[in-house]
């Protein structure tokens, strides 16, 4: 025998033979982890596709049951709030499937409302600054509201929902700045420029809630309409708007027959531009906010605006800038636009 004895082959602790199949199970585990991001989050993905449905098919929702279609139209931009919420859920779940599914409502929402978030629209010099405000019949401080409106330095001011008592307050406050005033029922117009003609517009009420005036601006004559359409109600019977829709049709017919080239329509329409029921009125008119404003321009309710139901619409003039003022004590916020005649 040799001097060296053959020692047993000792292995370090923990370095024993691998169990059969151990390597393959680790590979499978890694593959499972990689594939998991596609297997996870299917519920979130389904919710994302459901969010896309009202955006794509809101016009197919009928008005036969509680005017549900108009109700969805009115608050349609808020559907987009679900997208970032679901995006956070997809990130937490590390779900690629949910992330891809979220692209569908995100792209649709962007195509529908992305223009509202584009800065720098409009621009350039303007000839007339106009303002419209539902001052609220229950306004507890019309004097302060008048001061807030004067600070906007508008050339033409349209007010809606004025009581006979508050009309005296606004006339006194505006007297020095606006020498020309037209008041009809619960709507009124003040102007720095001469008013050549004015008349009440019948929209189906026992009292006047709309007027028309021809204002002679330095750049040319414009027909200005001020209107307060009927209110809508949301209750157990749904979205009640039949009376408002009748006023829309009557006012829309009047504006469609307008002979003056430049037309400015201002007021509280109790509906958004997305509401299909406003089509008889908005047809052929441009929204100043949509053309030259940034953001959605929500105006109601004043403390936390959720819908733009106060509008400045034009035809034959060019909006160069549009915005919404801060709250004035009314339940609505004022809207302002600069226009080139």
Mean pLDDT of 35-49: 87
- What pLDDT score was predicted for residue 67? 74
Residue 324 has pLDDT above 90, yes or no: yes
Q: Is the pLDDT of residue 4 over 70?
A: no
Is 100 a residue whose pLDDT tops 80?
yes
- Which pLDDT value is given to residue 96? 94
Domain definitions of the chain by residue range: 22-117, 128-340
* Overall average pLDDT of the 115-125 stretch: 90
Looking at residue 15, what is its pLDDT? 53
- The per-residue pLDDT for 69 is 84
Query: Is pLDDT larger for residue 29 or for residue 133?
Result: 133
- What pLDDT, on the 0 to 100 scale, is given for residue 12? 55
The pLDDT-based confidence of 318 (bands split at 50, 70, 90) is: very high
Rounded mean pLDDT, 212-233: 92
Q: What is the DSSP string of 115-152?
A: GGG-TT-S-S--SEEEEEEE--TT-S-HHHHHHHHHTT
Least confident range from 31-35, 73-77, 256-260, 294-298: namely: 31-35
Residue for token digits 């978030």?
A: 117
Picking from 7-21, 25-39, 121-135, 137-151, which range would have the lowest pLDDT averaged per residue?
7-21
pLDDT tens for 243-277 read 777 888 999 999 999 999 999 999 999 889 888 88
pLDDT tens, residue by residue, 170-221 = 999 999 999 999 999 999 999 999 999 999 999 878 789 999 999 999 999 9
**34-51: average pLDDT:** 86
Residue by residue, DSSP assigns 226-265 as EEEPPP-EEETTEEE-HHHHHHHHHHHHHHHT--SSEEEE
Contact yes or no for 279/231 (Cβ under 8 A): no
Q: Indicate the pLDDT class of residue 165, thresholds 50, 70 and 90.
A: very high
Distances from the Cα of 225 to the Cαs of 82, 157, 228, 271, in angstroms? 38, 11, 10, 17
pLDDT tens string 186-195? 999 999 999 9
The pLDDT of residue 120: 82
Residue 162 has pLDDT above 90, yes or no: yes
Q: How confident is the model at residue 39 (pLDDT cuts 50, 70, 90)?
A: confident
Q: What is the pLDDT of residue 18?
A: 56
The label of the residue with tokens 């001469």 reads 194
The interaxial angle of helices 142-150 and 164-174, nearest 10 deg, is 40
Pick the CATH number of 128-340 from 3.40.50.720, 3.60.10.10, 3.40.50.10580, 3.40.640.10: 3.60.10.10
Residue-level pLDDT at 207: 85
Q: Which of 183, 225, 172, 233 is nearest to 207 (CA)?
A: 183
Give the Cα separation of 201 and 57 in Å (integer): 36
- pLDDT of 288 reads 97
Question: Which of the four pLDDT bands, split at 50, 70 and 90, describes residue 330?
Answer: very high
Split at pLDDT 50, 70, 90, the class of 10 is low
230 vs 202: which has the higher pLDDT: 202
More confident residue, 317 or 34: 317
Helix runs in the chain, H state only:
22-39, 42-57, 68-74, 82-93, 96-113, 142-150, 164-174, 242-256, 279-282, 288-292
Mean pLDDT of 64-84: 88
Query: Which position has the token pair 């309409």?
Result: 225
* CA–centroid distance for 257 within its chain: 28
C-alpha radius of gyration, the chain, whole number: 31
Give CA–CA dist 293/161, Å, rounded: 25
Q: Which residues contact 250 (CB under 8 A, 6 or more apart)?
A: 202, 203, 204
pTM, whole model, 2 decimals? 0.85
pLDDT of 114 higher than 90: yes
Higher local confidence (pLDDT), 205 or 299: 299
């Amino acid at each position: 025998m040799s001097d060296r004895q053959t020692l047993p082959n000792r292995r370090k602790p923990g370095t024993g033979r691998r169990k059969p199949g151990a390597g393959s199970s680790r590979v499978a585990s890694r593959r499972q982890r990689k594939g998991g991001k596609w297997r996870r989050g299917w519920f979130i993905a389904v919710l994302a596709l459901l969010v896309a449905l009202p955006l794509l098919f809101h016009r197919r929702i009928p008005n036969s049951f509680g005017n549900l279609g108009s109700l969805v139209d009115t608050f349609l931009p808020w559907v987009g709030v679900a997208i970032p919420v679901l995006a956070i859920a997809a990130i937490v779940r590390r779900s690629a499937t949910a992330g891809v599914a979220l692209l569908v409502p995100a792209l649709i929402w962007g195509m529908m409302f992305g223009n509202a978030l584009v800065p720098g629209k409009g621009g350039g010099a303007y000839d007339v600054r106009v303002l419209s405000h539902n001052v609220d019949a229950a306004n507890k401080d019309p004097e302060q509201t008048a001061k807030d409106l004067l600070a906007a330095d508008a050339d033409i001011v349209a007010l809606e929902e004025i009581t006979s008592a508050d009309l005296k307050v606004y006339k006194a406050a505006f007297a020095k700045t606006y020498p020309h005033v037209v008041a009809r029922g619960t709507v009124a117009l003040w102007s720095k420029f001469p008013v050549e003609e004015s008349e009440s517009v019948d929209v189906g009420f026992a009292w006047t809630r709309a007027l028309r005036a021809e204002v002679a601006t330095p750049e040319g004559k414009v027909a200005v309409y001020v209107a307060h359409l009927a209110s809508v109600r949301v209750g157990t019977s749904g979205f009640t708007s039949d009376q408002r829709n009748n006023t829309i049709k009557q006012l829309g017919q009047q504006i469609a027959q307008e002979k003056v080239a430049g037309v400015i329509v201002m007021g509280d329409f109790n509906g958004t531009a997305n509401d299909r029921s406003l089509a008889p009125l908005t047809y052929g008119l441009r929204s100043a906010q949509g053309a030259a404003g940034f953001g959605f321009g929500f105006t109601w309710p004043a403390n936390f605006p959720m819908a733009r139901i106060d509008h400045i619409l034009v035809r034959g003039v060019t909006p160069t800038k549009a915005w919404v003022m801060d709250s004035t004590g009314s339940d609505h916020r004022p809207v302002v636009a600069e226009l080139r005649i």
